[in-house]
Structure 1
C-alpha cells in the first residue's frame, strides 16, 4: 500500500487527491456564481481576491467541517468564524448549514445563526439577518430554500421556511413562512405572488 499512502498519516493518496479536486471545483463554482450576480466585477481573479462575501463563505466551510467533528474542534471553529467576521464583516456561526454557489453581495453586516439552513444558489445582500427568536437549544433559525434572493437589511427570524425561488424585499421582517416563488416585503412582511413576467431586479421594494 506504500505507493498509495501520503506521508505518515496513513491517508490514501487517492482520497487526498479527490478531496482537493472537490474543493477546487467548489471554489470555481462559487466564483462563477458570484460573477453572474455581480456586474461590477470583470474577472475571476478580481472576484476571488476582492469579494468579502466569498471569503466569508470559504472560511465558513472550513469552520463548519471543524464544527461537525465536535469535541476539541469546536473552539477552533468558533475562533475561525470570529476571525472571518473581523476581516469580512460577515458573521456565520460554524454550525450553520449552507449549500452550493452561495453568494453574499457586499457582505457587511450579514448574520447567520447556528441552526440556519441555506439551500443552493442563494443570494444575500448586505445587512441580512437569519436570526432566532428563542434561547432554547432547538432549531431556532430560518431554513432558506434553493434559488432564494434576500434583499439588503432584511430580517428573517425564527424557525420559519422561505420556499424555493422566493424573494424577500429589502428591510423586510419575516416571521412567518414564505411560500415557494412568492415575494415578501414590508414590516411585518406580506406575501404576494408576482405575474409570470415579474423581474425581481426591477422591483425597488426588493432591492433598495
Structure 2
C-alpha cells in the first residue's frame, strides 16, 4: 500500500459494531492469517505472491497472505467458470501450468527464474503475457497468455479489494447494512464515512 492515501487515520474496523454479526465474522476473518494451502505448492505460492504484488503495486504481507489464501481456496474448490472461452484450460490447470510457463520462459529468455529477476524485468514479462507476446513461443503453445493474465488479475483484484486494510486506504467504510446511507447527494457523506484528510 502507498501509505499516502487521502484517509491515513481511517480504520474501517472501528465501524464493525454497526454491522450485523454475520458480516462482522466475514470481514474479521479476512484479517486472520490464512492456513496451509490446499492447492498451491510452496513454490507456486512464492511466485504468485510476487506476481500479485506487482499486479496491485502492494507488498503488505497480511494483505498478500489473504490474496494467496483466496486464490488457493478458489482453485481448490474450482467452483466453475461460466465464461471460460473455448480452448482455455480450467482455472486450476491454467494457473498451475501458467506459473510453470512463466518460470520456464524467464529461464530461457533471461537465464534466471522469475523470482530471480529484478522488478523491471518481472513487470515487463507480465506485461508481455498480458499482450500475448511473451517468449519463447514454444513454451506457451499450451497456455493462452492473455487469458492467463486476465485470470491472475481477476483473482488478485477480487481478493485485494475485499481486504479491510485496502478498504481503509481507499476510504470505504464497509457494508452499509443495516444502518444504510442517508446523505445520498453528490459530494455528501454520512457521519460514519471516511473524510478526506489534507
TMscore range, shorter length: under 0.3
Query: Which has more radius of gyration?
Result: 2
More strand, by proportion = 1
More helix, by proportion = 2
| TM value normalised by structure 2 | 0.26
Q: Structure with the greater relative contact order (CA < 8 A, sep ≥ 6): 1 or 2?
A: 2
